[in-house]
């Protein structure tokens, strides 16, 4: 019997990025649940079982920093990684010293992101 795979949630409003990250993480052995909005993740029952969250920062309705705050209310121990092509939003996430190593600016090094997720889990 194989060991259960770690579950990573990805939230990004860009469908191509969402699919590429899902393919990347699944190829590395992770189980993945993908969401096109922060609200979709917050309403999903799998939030209680995910091991890591990767979220875009600049999204409509709720940005990734606010999503992190909302998930921390239910899952304060959940590791969160931010991705963004918006340099101002990336600087906002980095302004918290705890987040500095968890912000990946697009285009980011996929190997570095996978390594960071593996280390956090």
Say how far apart CA 7 and CA 90 lie, in whole Å: 25
Number of domains in the chain: 1
Query: Is 8 domain-assigned?
Result: no
Q: What is the DSSP letter of 28?
A: T
The residue with tokens 């052995």 is 29
User: What's the CATH code of the domain at 79?
Assistant: 3.40.50.2300
Query: Is 4 domain-assigned?
Result: no
Please name the residues in contact with 39: beta carbons below 8 A apart, sequence gap of 6 or more.
61, 62
Please, which pLDDT band fits residue 114 given cuts at 50, 70 and 90? Answer: very high
Query: Is 1 domain-assigned?
Result: no
**pLDDT tens profile 19-49:** 999 999 999 999 999 999 999 999 999 999 9
Domain residues for the domain of 49 are 17-120
Q: Which of 19-23, 45-49, 99-103, 117-121 has the lowest mean pLDDT?
A: 99-103
Q: Apex CA 51: angle with CA 49 and CA 52, to 5°?
A: 125
Query: Is 49 domain-assigned?
Result: yes
- The residue with greater pLDDT, 18 or 96, is 18
Query: Is 69 domain-assigned?
Result: yes
The pLDDT value recorded for residue 85 is 79
List the strands of the sheet with 80-84, edge to edge. Answer: 31-35, 7-11, 52-56, 80-84, 103-105
- The residue with greater pLDDT, 96 or 92, is 92
């Amino acid at each position: 019997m194989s060991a259960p795979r770690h579950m990573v949630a990805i939230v990004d409003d860009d469908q191509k990025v969402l699919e590429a990250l899902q393919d990347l993480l699944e190829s590395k052995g992770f189980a993945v649940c993908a969401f096109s909005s922060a609200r979709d993740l917050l309403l999903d029952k799998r939030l209680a079982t995910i091991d890591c969250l990767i979220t875009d920062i600049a999204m409509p309705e709720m940005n990734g920093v606010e999503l992190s705050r909302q998930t921390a209310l239910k899952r304060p121990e959940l590791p969160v990684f931010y991705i963004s092509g918006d340099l101002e939003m990336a600087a906002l996430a980095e302004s918290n010293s705890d987040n500095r190593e968890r912000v990946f600016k697009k285009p980011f090094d996929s190997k570095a992101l996978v390594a960071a997720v593996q280390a956090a889990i």
